[in-house]
Amino acid sequence: METRVLKVFCAVAESGNLVAAARKVHLTPSAISHSIKSLETDLGMQLFERVGKRMVLNHAGEQLLAQVQGPLAALDSAAEAVRHLGKWGQSRLRIGTTHAACEHILPGVIRELKRNHLSLELRVESGDTPQLIDLLHQSKVEVALGLTPSNPTGLTLRPAFRDELMFVFAPTHPWMDGRPITREEIRNQQFIIYQRSSLTAQMLESYFRRLHIVPGAAMEMGSTAAIIALVKLGLGVSVMSPWTMGQELSQGALKMRPLGPKPLYRRWSLMSLSARRMSFAEETFCRLCRNHATGMRLDRNDLPPFKTSDSRRAHENE
């Protein structure tokens, strides 16, 4: 039985005559009559009693109406929901971000996004950049914020921001004195790093390899919050970007120094599949992410100043 014919049947059952049903479903009375006859032929039984110009359901017709009204209403609701999703600004947005971005960038962006898109349904997935790329290709997220991949096959990349990786340590650490950090000191440090499989860990390994430095013992953590907590306790040093610890830097609970004269930058991108066009909500999300980044601490120029022992001695000699 075709859905179209069943809708005609319901219209006749509710209206009681062909003319009223025709107006309801925007067909001619003859088309309505033909559809009812076709349905009765398929079922092998009459569904209506003809009483003058009236069409009255018989027992079989009443049974059929009771069975089809629910499913047809569900189909209408599903179609309306899909039409609703198709309207700009009234859709679902599935976002993928790294763990750090999820903690430090996403809350502010989502607050602004929800302010302008009240009915937007949001879903968030977090993971390392390779995981986010997999989610994009599996169509489990529409847009992802992560480190710019070296091989963005099938992806459209929109630059988000650039940050610098630097040493981070407790205020009691010897590196607070401002002296140049030797290779031997780096080799002897207890490093607290993010997972070795991450793109950031791979960038650090390549950076130190070019300097002929192989850092010593390291503890691997699964979150930036855990790294920050251990570094604050003086259990080791780490390599991170200032925006991931803005509050700790402002309070003086952590300090940072560049890795060396040559900075190590990371580039972040908003990624989506090249084969699909972005929705208005997705475009808005990308714009808000870029706007949010303009207020973040991203490199050595954004660090709050702190006095070293060298600067104190210089002050005393004035």
Q: Which of 49, 57, 52 is nearest to 13 (CA)?
A: 57
| Distance between start and end Cα atoms, the chain | 96
The b-or-e profile of 108-121 (16+ CB within 10 A means b, else e) is ebbebbeeebeebe
Nearest alpha carbon to residue 237 among 158, 171, 180: 171
Q: Is the pTM of the predicted complex or chain greater than 0.85?
A: no
Report CA torsion sign: 273, 291, 203, 219: negative
Per-residue buried b or exposed e for 284-299, using 16+ beta carbons within 10 Å of the residue's own CB: bbbebbbebbeebbbb
Give the model confidence (pLDDT) of 98-117 as tens digits. 989 999 999 999 999 888 77
Residues of the chain with CATH 1.10.10.10: 3-85
Domain 91-307 has CATH 3.30.450.20: no
Are residues 164 and 302 in contact, defined by beta-carbon separation less than 8 angstroms? no
In angstroms, rounded to a whole number, what is the distance separating the alpha carbons of residues 94 and 181?
A: 44
Tell me what pLDDT residue 84 has: 54
Q: Which is nearest to 67 in space by CA: 34, 38, 43?
A: 43
By the 10 Å C-beta count (0-12 exposed, 13-18 middle, 19+ buried), 3 is classed as: exposed
| Range(s) of the chain covered by CATH 3.40.190.290 | 91-307
pLDDT over threshold 60, residue 285: yes
Q: In this predicted model, what pLDDT tens digit does every residue of 148-183 receive, in sequence order?
A: 998 899 999 999 999 999 999 999 999 998 889 999
Q: What is the mean pLDDT of residues 184-212?
A: 88
Instruction: Check: CB of residue 274 under 8 Å from CB of residue 155.
Output: yes
Q: Tokens 């076709």 label which residue? A: 38
What pLDDT score does 86 carry?
Answer: 52
Query: Which positions ≥6 away from 210 have C-beta within 8 Å?
Result: none
d(CA 207, CA 235): 23
Average pLDDT over residues 17-32: 88
Confidence of residue 69 (pLDDT cuts 50, 70, 90): confident
CATH class of the region 3-85: mainly alpha
pLDDT band at 229 (very low <50, low <70, confident <90, very high): very high
Per-residue confidence band for 54, with pLDDT thresholds at 50, 70 and 90? confident
Q: What is the mean pLDDT of residues 287-304?
A: 91
